[in-house]
Every structure is written in structure tokens, then in C-alpha cells.
Amino acid sequence: MSPDRWAVAAESDRVQWDCEPLVRVGPLWFGMALRDATVAMDAHGFSSDTSPIADFGPFGQVRVQFRRTDRASAGQVDVVAYFADSIGLACVTVDARTGPQVTLDGIRLIGRRPSELASEIAGHLQGIGRTRQFTAEGEISCQEWGMLPRAQRAGDVLLTRAVFGTPNSWAHTMDDCIPADEWESHPVIGSGR
């Protein structure tokens, strides 16, 4: 196994993104067309690979894997975006090890210990009077954020990755927005990429 297979980017080496719940993640806006997304990500230093996928709602589906172009380990996938024909961008996932650091309501979501993130989210939600909800995997989140925190393996450590989506005409909840490809490729104690 190569020594950098489980390498985790330092916080200072990560691209810094913010997000607007149910609207956008960094330069990726929900509903945007595939071409617009690849142009936006290219402008931010990411190359892309596109492939069709199955089991993502009733429409034609495409998965786009984005990689930073300024890094030696160019094979690492940093961000995955899922598109549905009539909806456009429907779901975005950010890798725990090398993906951009995404901040939501001042909370850093990516590359953290799951227990630390859960504690910070719970305290924040209580402080602003929002209801805490538990994901199917037992993580704390809030449907109003359009974000599900997930654990990803980095060697013997679990770190947080995030899945972002927005309910639409065929996916009425966050869980429905997420394609089977995401659930299968990153189970809670998944092997990473």
C-alpha cells in the first residue's frame, strides 16, 4: 500500500469554501448544469472526470469527480458532484482527507474527528434554537442545512466528510437526495478511495 494512501491534508493546504444551506457548496450551486459546474471548478483549480451512474432517481444520472490540479497526488478525488437530467446538480460530497474545508454557520465540517464535529453541531443547534436531528448513521445534523456528516476512514482514524443536497421534485428528504453510489462507496467504516 502506498504511504500516501491515507494521507490527510493539513488545514492550511485545503481550499477554503463556505456554503449556503440548500443553495450552494463553494462554487457549486444546486440545480446548475454539468457544464457550468465543470467550468466553475476549473476556474478554482479542479480537473474533472465524468461517468454515468445507476440508482439515482428516475432520471439520467452523471457523477463528476473533481481533483485539485496543483497537487502531486493528482489521482485523489476531492469532491464528487451528482447530476440528474432535469434537475441539474443534486448532490455534492467532499472528501475527508483532501477535500476543501467547508464552513457552515462557522463550523468546519471536513477532516475532523466525528465526535468533535457532533459535539460542536449539537451545541450550535441548541444555541440557535434549531432542532437536532440524527441521520440514519446516528450522526447529528439538521435537515434545514441540507448537509449530512459522514465518517470516512483514513488509516486507523475516522474523519468527517460531508454530503450536501437539496430536496427536489423527486427527492423530498436529504436521505433521498443521496445516490446509492455514495452510500455504497462510503459506508460508515468504509475503506476510503
The answer to whether the CB of 100 falls within 8 A of the CB of 119 is no
Does 116 reside within a domain? yes
Burial class (CB in 10 A: 0-12, 13-18, 19+), 102: buried
**Confidence (pLDDT) at 136:** 75
| Beta-strand relationship, 46-52 and 28-29 | unpaired
pTM of the model: 0.88
The residue range of the domain holding 137 is 11-185
Does 4 reside within a domain? no
Does 3 reside within a domain? no
| Beta-strand relationship, 61-68 and 46-52 | antiparallel
Letter string b/e over residues 180-189, b meaning 16 or more CB atoms within 10 A of that residue's CB? ebbbeebeee
Does 5 reside within a domain? no
Does 6 reside within a domain? no
Does 23 reside within a domain? yes
Does 2 reside within a domain? no
The answer to whether the CB of 83 falls within 8 A of the CB of 38 is no
Number of domains in the chain: 1
**Confidence (pLDDT) at 39:** 97
Does 144 reside within a domain? yes
- 70 or 88, greater pLDDT: 88
Tens of pLDDT, residue by residue over 30-75, are 999 999 999 999 999 999 998 877 655 555 688 999 999 887 555 6
Tens of pLDDT, residue by residue over 131-189, are 888 877 788 888 889 899 999 999 899 999 999 988 776 666 777 777 777 766 665 54
| Beta-strand relationship, 79-84 and 157-165 | unpaired
